[in-house]
Structure 1
Amino acid sequence: MSGTLSALPGRQADRARWLVRLAWIALAYNLLVIVWGAVVRITGAGAGCGDHWPLCNGVVVPESPTMHTLIEFSHRLTSAASGLFAIGLAALAFRVTPRGHPARFGALLSLGLIILEGLVGGVQVLLGLTADSTDPARGFVQGIHLANTFALLGALLLTALWAGGGPRLRLRGQGRVGSLSFIGLGLLLLLGMAGAVTALGDLLFLPADGSTPIETVKRDFAATATVIENLRIVHPLLAVVSSAYLAWLAVWLRRLRPDAEVARWGGVLWGLIAVQMLAGFANVALKAPAWMQLTHLLLACAMWLALVMLVYRAMTAPGARLPAPAPETGASSPGTSSAGARV
């Protein structure tokens, strides 16, 4: 275990409980900020503050703002509040946890990722990669933005778990559990990045009324199609591959690391995969209405958090934390190496 904080005396114990609460609140709040960021994209309000950042239209507080300005400016305010949450989380983690406690690392990582999140958003605005821009660089930045968002959610989740006394995560010596789990995390990360590009394509190049998915794909590869349109097909193809792999991974981890929490989060991941696949089909059939895009995004975040939980529980299951058994010494000489004693 990383060390429970519940045994601390009086006021320190109260602060430790607040650390756990603050970590979970920060995670939930950032989910809301992510949804509001998607609203900014869907409404085309990304240029609501012009090409100014961190100022809005060259001033701190916009005067006579339009609706797009209000949407963009409110997103910047909510994002700034995320930074304040992260600063408070890091300060409290260093106040109530001992040196070397993983909650300190998680809180600092979360703060760093929130700063990076703001910088990526700022670059997007300063380069004019907002509103109706069809620059291929916008798709790239959008994908980076999503990858950083997923990393931030994962860091906040681990911080909350560690603050609550969860086991320290040991990456070395995990064997195939580690390597296959990281493949799953990487696949879902790539899927999310591809989804960000596809969502952008659906916004800029909405399928025509009455057109079929096949007709849309043909248009995406027409001579006049942009790179963003060309890449729109990647997401559904990658979704099929990733979903199959993650479903297999959940079963495999349950067998290799038989633990109640591993089984529980494997089942949650299976359920989310099924719901997300249905949402994906509905998104295509309905031609990506705003409410469906937001639902799809929230489910993607839930899938990512469920996978992080599954991998964390598998890597910290009791069997994974047991030391390797000592080798038999019957026929060994004093100088014999025991290099094979690994988990």
Structure 2
Amino acid sequence: MNLSGTLRAAGAEPQTQGAAAVWLPRLAWGALAYNVLVILWGAVVRLTGAGAGCGEHWPLCNGVVVPQSPTLHTVIEFSHRLTSGLSGLLALALVALAMFTTRRGHPARFGALLSLGLIVLEGLVGGVQVLLGLTAQSTDPARGFVQGVHLANTFALLGALLLTALWASGQPGVRLRGQGRAGGLGALGLGLLLLLGMAGAVTALGDLLFLPADGSTPIETVKRDYAVTASVIENLRVVHPMLAIVTSAYLLWMAGVLARLRPEAEVRRWRGWLTGIIAAQMLAGFANVALKAPGWMQLTHLLLACIMWLVTVMLVYRALTALALRPGAPETPRPVSDLPGRSA
């Protein structure tokens, strides 16, 4: 999906000034792609049990800036901190470039500032995990809660970077009020996906800590999850697959309704992409269970989850900024406006 190419082909140009303007959308798209890679590397840290590679020290590693004679786990954890730190620098650069090349009130400024705030929050949540010892083989129920919050913030960050890239590429801002049924459906769909992601983070943690290596069937595993000695994290493992079915069914229905309410080509296109990624994600989920959650399958599942989130954000965005409504529809076209303020 070459989103930036599609936008340029449509003749969309950002309202910017100076030669540096061409770098704003490039930086935004680049930051989005880079953060997906950082998220996947963070999953590698969890899967390898390297989260305690720097001890219970943050932001220092084992009490020093650069660890000396590091173990493999220290190398993995320290490299994750470095890549995460680079995400922060990219966000700062994005804010600076947006302020320099766009006029006051341009939505790209809002998106860049929101992205920076979410990256700071991302780092703080990660720091809390380390300082409280909620890493490596910790089975503290609080770890499941923090993992869920971490994933929700990650999705919000990817969404903010995507919108920033769109706005930097000259696409319209979004007016949230007055969207009628389309706005409510989109908000519920995004909310369900956030809950699904949080539940998925808890299930992935449960798979890492408690999934038996023997030949137990899925039914036997579920029974074990609800044994008297089972922890809260084990109890919650079954929530994710059940919520995945409900959320997927809703998203497919939502996409169909949005395509009828806002019958534009872009809305129909992203409806098709969402249908395809849901099918792929469901297959990956079944494979993950059948194969007993190997590391490579968990990474694939997480990557598809990120793509599914971004595709859903795109579908909702296109629906909320659609100008052509089906004749006779109860809703009326809304003028393009920005978040926050009006387009420059």
TM-score, normalised to structure 2, is 0.91
% identity of equivalent residues: 77
* Secondary structure of the structure 2 residue equivalent to 1:85: helix
Q: Tell me by how many angstroms 1:85 deviates.
A: 0.2
**Conserved 8 A contact 1:5-1:16:** no
* Secondary structure of the structure 2 residue equivalent to 1:215: helix
Q: Tell me by how many angstroms 1:241 deviates.
A: 0.2
Partner Cα distance (1:269, 1:141) in 2? 28
Determine whether 1:84 maps to 2:89: yes
1:187 to 167, 188, 192: 192
Alignment of 1:1-343 (within 5 A): 5=13, 12=18, 14-319=19-324, 322-323=333-334
| 1:8-40 CA distance string (max 9 Å, x none) | 66xx1x311100000000000000000000000
**Conserved 8 A contact 1:46-1:131:** yes
Partner Cα distance (1:149, 1:255) in 2? 31
Q: Bigger relative contact order, structure 1 or 2, given CA contacts below 8 A and separation 6+?
A: 2
Partner Cα distance (2:195, 2:141) in 1? 17
Q: Tell me by how many angstroms 1:209 deviates.
A: 1.9
**Conserved 8 A contact 2:56-2:130:** yes
**Conserved 8 A contact 1:188-1:304:** yes
Partner Cα distance (1:192, 1:39) in 2? 17
Amino acid at match of 1:322: P
- For structure 1, the residue ranges without an aligned partner over 5 or more in a row are 325-343
* Secondary structure of the structure 2 residue equivalent to 1:302: helix
Partner Cα distance (2:76, 2:119) in 1? 20
Amino acid at match of 2:26: R
**Conserved 8 A contact 2:57-2:63:** yes
Amino acid at match of 2:309: W
TM-score, normalised to structure 1, is 0.91
Q: CA RMSD in A?
A: 1.4
Amino acid at match of 2:225: D
Partner Cα distance (1:258, 1:323) in 2? 14
| 1:214-239 CA distance string (max 9 Å, x none) | 00000000000000000000000000
Equivalent pairs, count? 319
Q: Tell me by how many angstroms 1:319 deviates.
A: 3.1
| 1:151-208 CA distance string (max 9 Å, x none) | 0000000000000010111100001100111000000000000000000000001233
Partner Cα distance (2:23, 2:100) in 1? 11
**Conserved 8 A contact 2:15-2:170:** no
* Secondary structure of the structure 1 residue equivalent to 2:172: coil
Of stretches 80-89 and 247-256 in structure 1, the one that deviates more from structure 2 is 247-256
Partner Cα distance (2:234, 2:153) in 1? 23
Amino acid at match of 1:317: A
Partner Cα distance (2:162, 2:112) in 1? 10
Partner Cα distance (1:225, 1:85) in 2? 43
Amino acid at match of 2:249: A
Amino acid at match of 1:160: A
TM-aligned CA distance change 1:60 to 1:210, over 3 Å: same
Larger Rg: 1
Partner Cα distance (1:258, 1:130) in 2? 47
| 1:86-110 CA distance string (max 9 Å, x none) | 0000000000000000000000000
Q: Tell me by how many angstroms 1:6 deviates.
A: 5.2
- For structure 2, the residue ranges without an aligned partner over 5 or more in a row are 1-10, 326-331, 336-344
Q: Tell me by how many angstroms 1:322 deviates.
A: 3.0
**Conserved 8 A contact 2:111-2:164:** yes
TM-aligned CA distance change 1:230 to 1:111, over 3 Å: same
**Conserved 8 A contact 1:5-1:97:** no
**Conserved 8 A contact 2:125-2:146:** yes
